[in-house]
Structure 1
Amino acid sequence: MEIKTVSFIGLGALGILFGHHLSKILPKENVRIIADENRIQKYKSEGVYCNGERCNFNYMSPEEECEPADLLIFCVKINGLRKAIEAVKNQVGENTIILSALNGITSEAIIGETYGMNNILYCVAQGMDAVKVDNKLAYDNMGMLVFGDKEPDIISEKTKAVADFFEITGVPYQVDTNMSKRLWGKFMLNVGVNQTVAVYQSNYGEIQKEGLARDMMIAAMKEVIAISEKEGVYLSEEDLHYWLDVLSTLSPNGKPSMAQDVDAKRYSEVELFAGTVLEYGKKHGIATPVNQELYDRIKKIESEY
């Protein structure tokens, strides 16, 4: 199994970052950016930029017929996922491997409802500090894609194929044989970092230093630890400190996606983060006051748009 063609759906920070990298390595026609015609015309006329360099993307509309992609990467936000699933139907064949770089812990199952779970690998994007303003992306740290099989303690041929592809193309990656815990760990980080920085309307530097914001972030993350135990995932203080170490590597001037949403007066993924924590808290009878406060404060910010 050899990967030659890769398709991206979603030109947010991750789509631009990894799409631009691969477009400089592979033949132009082997990297496909899937978008509707209106978006394609806008991208072509205004350009898409990554660290000051105009991206030379190969755009394809959802209606365009083609050979299925060997690898398909979802880079949309959760509220655009179902539309994206429909848009990539011509990219998916029986051997297409699918990665979802979305935040949260549900996107793989949602994609699997349409395309089945057999070709889906679990994935998280971590360690990047990209900031996107309009059509321009800037970053200091590219981060990496961490992926693996749904079942623990195995490395399938599909996982090996993606690892080989990323090795050849220079995409930073890591294979994890306990992806369920990795997904929950990244979810824990997002619950703390995304929401706290958004509420404080600041940047990574705000929660990298000691203070009220960092305390709130860690308290929100600890509520996820308590829930994870009830869900059989068993995050620990060790996991919390691992993700705090990841956080410490990011540019202090960078911002997570939710803070960028607040800056642009866009509606955020608060339902995906605090909303999910509150739901699980009720399910298991676990108090989640910090996430309740974050939820309420972000909703108030959004109500004033």
Structure 2
Amino acid sequence: MTMKKVSIIGLGALGVLFGHHLSKKMGTEDLRIIADSDRILRYENDKLYSNGEPCHFHYVTPEEDCGPTDLLIVSVKYNGLKNAIESVKNHVGDDTIIISLLNGITSETIIGETYGMDKVLYCVAQGMDAVKVGNELTYEHMGMLCFGSREPGVISPQAKKLAEFFEQMDVPFEVDTDMYRRQWGKFMLNVGVNQTVAIYQSNYGEIQREGKARDMMIAAMREVIALSEKEGVHLTEKDLGYWLKVLGTLSPNGKPSMAQDVEAQRISEVELFAGTVIELGRKYQMPTPINQELYEKIKSMERQYSVQ
């Protein structure tokens, strides 16, 4: 049976990007954006724009009983995940497929603890250079969604069903038969790119060219490679090269979400990146000095927000 209804929670850059794209392909009430009443009022008053086009979304509150969805897309920030899991309960049914667009390597497990891992496909969003400032999203590259099962070598019925739907919706995608490894690769990229661009308060161009920023980024990524060996994932320099090529396709004027958070003086996802690396380093008694430095610098920047 084909998918007919989609629910999205979280209208950051990726929520707006894919929400706007799907809204032009689906019936208005078949795409549901979950948000509390205060957020809905703000969205309706201020409007949201994607590359200059107004977004026409159908909003529902968490309390609204509108029946289960076929596909639930979770695109909140990590610090909003717990509330999001509670807010989507009216949208999850026996046959709902859930994908998380969150960075890091933990959100699928956290969602699965509440709704069951049988409903969750591992997913990585990559290759987009979306920047959201206020109510306006801009991007040159839409990127793609890579998804699949946790177990290597398997293409599940849910993955096949989602692939068929995304084909119908013209959503760029790739089904990966080694998704956990892909997720660790994206985690490695985020650890390097997001944090380095944030402390340099710059953009992708800063780490696409040779220099101190790029050196720091790659050193942080190599700490993840070392830890992946202990976790049985076995990332290599070849993986590093692959993700650096992905990085090279992005608009040099774009910037990752953490850099956007620092600009807007919002608390970042540093715990998801350097925090996770440092914790794994302690677990395996491995030094992670670059991520320790990134962690301390970003935390120091965040402490300055309240005194400026």
Q: In the alignment, what sits opposite 2:152?
A: 152
Q: For residues 304 and 67 of structure 1, what CA distance do their matches in structure 2 show?
A: 45
Q: For residues 87 and 285 of structure 1, what CA distance do their matches in structure 2 show?
A: 38
Q: For residues 63 and 7 of structure 2, what CA distance do their matches in structure 1 show?
A: 14
Task: Note the 1:19-38 alignment, pairs <5 A.
Answer: 19-38=19-38
Q: For residues 304 and 280 of structure 2, what CA distance do their matches in structure 1 show?
A: 28
Deviations 1:140-182 (A, max 9, x none): 0000100001111011110000000000100000000001101
> One-letter code of the match for 2:257?
S
**2:188 counterpart of 1:191:** no
Q: In the alignment, what sits opposite 1:263?
A: 263
Secondary structure in 2 aligned to 1:258? helix
> One-letter code of the match for 1:249?
T
The alpha carbon displacement at 1:269 in A equals: 0.4
The alpha carbon displacement at 1:66 in A equals: 1.3
The alpha carbon displacement at 1:23 in A equals: 0.1
Q: In the alignment, what sits opposite 2:9?
A: 9
Q: In the alignment, what sits opposite 2:64?
A: 64
> One-letter code of the match for 1:300?
S
The alpha carbon displacement at 1:113 in A equals: 1.0
Deviations 1:179-233 (A, max 9, x none): 1101100000000000000010000000000000000000000000000000000
TM-score of the aligned structures, taking structure 2 as reference length: 0.98
> One-letter code of the match for 1:20?
H
Q: For residues 150 and 226 of structure 1, what CA distance do their matches in structure 2 show?
A: 21
> One-letter code of the match for 1:156?
S
Task: Note the 1:193-232 alignment, pairs <5 A.
Answer: 193-232=193-232
**2:297 counterpart of 1:297:** yes
The alpha carbon displacement at 1:279 in A equals: 0.5
Q: For residues 188 and 290 of structure 2, what CA distance do their matches in structure 1 show?
A: 13
Q: In the alignment, what sits opposite 2:285?
A: 285
Q: In the alignment, what sits opposite 1:237?
A: 237
Secondary structure in 2 aligned to 1:140? coil
Equivalent residue pairs, number? 305
Q: For residues 150 and 93 of structure 1, what CA distance do their matches in structure 2 show?
A: 21
Q: For residues 188 and 257 of structure 1, what CA distance do their matches in structure 2 show?
A: 15
| Structure 1 runs not aligned, ≥5 long | none
Query: Percentage identity across aligned positions?
Result: 68
Secondary structure in 2 aligned to 1:118? helix
Q: For residues 162 and 83 of structure 1, what CA distance do their matches in structure 2 show?
A: 25
Secondary structure in 1 aligned to 2:117? coil
> One-letter code of the match for 2:96?
T
Q: For residues 85 and 44 of structure 1, what CA distance do their matches in structure 2 show?
A: 24
Q: For residues 150 and 224 of structure 2, what CA distance do their matches in structure 1 show?
A: 21
Runs of 4+ in 1 over 2 A off after TM superposition: none
| Structure 2 runs not aligned, ≥5 long | none
The alpha carbon displacement at 1:286 in A equals: 1.0
Q: For residues 267 and 36 of structure 2, what CA distance do their matches in structure 1 show?
A: 22
> One-letter code of the match for 1:251?
S
The alpha carbon displacement at 1:58 in A equals: 0.6
RMSD: 0.5
